[in-house]
Amino acid sequence: MYRIDTIKSRARHTAWKASKKGSNWNPWARKISHTGDSLYDEENPRGSSDSHHSRAHSEACAADGVELETRHRDNQGPVHAATMPPPSRDSSKPLHINSHANGEAQDSGDASLTRRKTNKTDSEEEQEKPGLDRHASTKSRKRKQPVITPWTQFKHVVFGSWVNILLLAVPAGFAVNYAHLNGIVVFVVNFIAIVPLAGMLSYATEELAMHIGETLGGLLNASFGNAVELIVGIQALVKKELVIVKTSLIGSMLSNLLLVMGMCFFLGGVSRVEQHFNVTVAQTSASLLALAVASLIIPTVFRMWVEPSEEVSDLVDTDALSRGTSIILLFVYGCYLLFQLKTHVVMYNEPSKKGEMRTKEVKPGAANRGIAAIGAGAAGAVGGKIHEDTLLNNQEEDDEDEEEVPVLTVLGALVALGLSTVLVAFCSEFMVDNISSVAGSGKGLSETFLGLILLPIVGNAAEHATAVTVAMKDKMDLAIGVAVGSSTQIALLVLPLTVLIGWIIGIDEMNLSFDGFQVAVLFVSVLLVNYLIGDGKSNWLEGMLLMTTYTIIAVAAFVYPD
């Protein structure tokens, strides 16, 4: 499991990185990326040129050695059983090899070959070293240092992933809004525009976090992880769309707990028997969610019992309960950060067990045929194939652990972050202004369904794809960290912060007293998640249960009256 300051960073790096073998199905995968090996060392260009030339020279020497060794093996004849053809099925005489003679010849040949290669390498290094230095210095003078230009940064931000084609909806959203077209058109266009802007905001946050250090970068990732939900919530709060504010926050938690985690369990468990994750960390996050549900149930029940009595309602300020509870939740969130970043770092860094891949059904007699094939002389080829697969798997693991370097400057990341935030604010304002044209009485779509199901898709689309992608790569700690961690941030940070902002701007109706239906479905969701993650294992059936629960809630929200 990973700490909250590194969960989303590692998950994005794993999910957004384009695979070398093929294309990444994730629509937010970055097609253009730089790693440490691909960048030119600007501080030490000569050393970079020397290392590059040395690698090329070593590869050439290795190729010459392989060629000499191949010629030597051809002259000496077969020296390994793997190079011998399999014996004929009809032949009763085994093939005999003078292994002692061949071994002596091979040893002497290898020794002479080693001496020739060593002498050649030493002499060439002594003769070519001054030339290499001159060549490197000349190359460093001629070669321009690849600086990060504004055009390069623009390409990384705008053309980095194919989902950014939806950025065309951003100017279209401005156009249809100021042209005063149909409210449904304005809502739909700006709804689509927020999807790529949310991914751009996450990308800019990730790039800026690489520049400012691990601690500050981690806090930046943790703070901006749910920035879109906060922006949409504030816009709806200013417009006094309280139903949209409350349902969208509850819906974001539901979508992360049920839809996202359900898809992670299902798609990750299709090709594996079981997947494992850090149960202690997962249960800690689930316990915090249980606290968040309690912070909603208590004010809701309190208002239901107090307000019907006029005598008591005049004496009790129910809004003060919500504000005090919000301050307590923010304090709990601070303790949660301290728990992960300082006091229990080791617990969050414990690696999890990898899931066993699902094996195909073995046909009768397959084992006997395999043993016969090995006895016929295929052991060498099979061993080589196994060794090759092992090397490829190790290479894939190295590629995943490859350190990423920023491709945006600090100024470029700040500009991208600020621009995406401003555009999200404008598009969300245009969208909220036209909610009445889409949902409401007689519109065929309730505000509860809009806030509980549709709006959470806008802000969480990029994180949804990230979590599902890493789950399919058997990195369940990252997947659960993104899903449950995002719900925890909404419950302990975004929700109480929205209540306090409403208090500041004079909207007293924004409190922690929610609709009974919303609180009930959130309670059931947290309860189900606590049951399923209790054993630290997941499979596709558990994922189906979570997605089915989310579907039932969506149907209920669709028919729920305003």
Rounded to 10 degrees, the C-alpha dihedral 41/45/47/52 comes to 80
Task: Kindly state the average pLDDT of the residues 178-206.
Answer: 89
Q: Over 90: is that where the pLDDT of 37 sits?
A: no
pLDDT of amino acid 111:
45
Q: Across 360-364, 399-403, 473-477, which has the greatest mean pLDDT? A: 473-477
Judge whether residue 94 has pLDDT over 60: no
Mutual orientation of helices 214-223 and 4-16 as an angle, nearest 10°?
Answer: 80
Closest CA to 319 of 252, 248, 242: 242
Q: CA 329: distance to chain centroid?
A: 27
For 319-338, what is the mean pLDDT?
91
CB atoms closer than 10 angstroms to residue 83: 10
Model confidence band, residue 258 (pLDDT cutoffs 50, 70, 90): very high
396 confidence band (pLDDT: 50, 70, 90): very low
Tens digits of per-residue pLDDT, 448-479?
899 899 988 877 777 888 888 888 888 888 88
pLDDT for position 536? 86
Residues 295-327: tens digit of each pLDDT: 999 999 888 887 666 555 555 677 888 999 999
More confident residue, 105 or 473: 473
| Residue 44, SS3 per DSSP | coil
pLDDT, residue 24, reads 55
Percent of the chain with pLDDT over 70: 60
Distance CA 210, CA 349 (A): 20
Query: 117 exposed, middle or buried (CB, 10 Å; 0-12, 13-18, 19+)?
Result: middle
DSSP H/E element including 537 = strand 537-538
| Distance separating alpha carbons of residues 236 and 510, to the nearest angstrom | 11
Mean pLDDT over each residue of the chain, to the nearest integer:
73
Answer with the residue of higher pLDDT: 281 or 147: 281
Helices (H), 224-278: 227-238, 242-254, 261-269
Highest mean pLDDT among 44-48, 71-75, 218-222, 460-464: 460-464
Q: Which residue has the higher pLDDT, 311 or 239?
A: 239
- Considering only residues 462 and 273, tell me which one the structure prediction assigns the higher pLDDT: 273
230: nearest Cα among 38, 545, 24, 491: 491
Instruction: Give the range among 171-175, 394-398, 445-449 with minimum mean pLDDT.
Output: 394-398
The average pLDDT across 41-70 equals 46
The pLDDT value given to residue 353 = 61
CA separation for the pair 207, 230 (Å, rounded):
21
Interaxial angle between packed helices 279-306 and 476-489, expressed in degrees from 0 to 180 and rounded to the nearest 10? 20
In this predicted structure, what is the pLDDT of residue 361? 52
pLDDT band at 56 (very low <50, low <70, confident <90, very high): very low
Contact 443, 244 (CB under 8 A): no
The model's pLDDT over 525-556, given as tens digits with 9 standing for 90+, comes to: 999 999 898 888 889 999 999 999 999 999 99
pLDDT(439) > 50: yes
pLDDT at 8: 56
C-alpha–C-alpha distance, residues 83 and 74, integer Å = 11
Q: Which two tokens stand for residue 455?
A: 């709006």
CA distance 395 to 402: 10
Long-range contacts of 402-406 (CB under 8 A, 24+ apart): 402/35, 402/36, 402/37, 403/35, 403/36, 404/13, 404/17, 404/33, 404/34, 404/35, 404/36, 404/210, 405/34, 405/35, 405/36, 405/39, 405/210, 406/207, 406/210, 406/211
Per CATH, the number for 4-18+147-355+408-559 is 1.20.1420.30
Please give the structure tokens belonging to residue 419: 């621009």
**Lowest-pLDDT range of 99-113, 426-440, 522-536:** 99-113
More confident residue, 442 or 238: 238
Identify the pLDDT of residue 144.
45
The 10s digit of each residue's pLDDT in 165-190 is 999 999 999 999 999 988 899 999 99
Of 140 and 502, the one with more pLDDT: 502
- CA geometry: angle 209, 210, 211, nearest 5 deg: 90
Residue 355 three-state SS: coil
C-beta separation of 510 from 237 below 8 A: yes
Report pLDDT for 314.
53
List Cα–Cα distances, 228 to 190, 455, 491, 505, in angstroms. 13, 10, 15, 20
Instruction: Work out the pLDDT band at 391, boundaries 50, 70, 90.
Output: very low
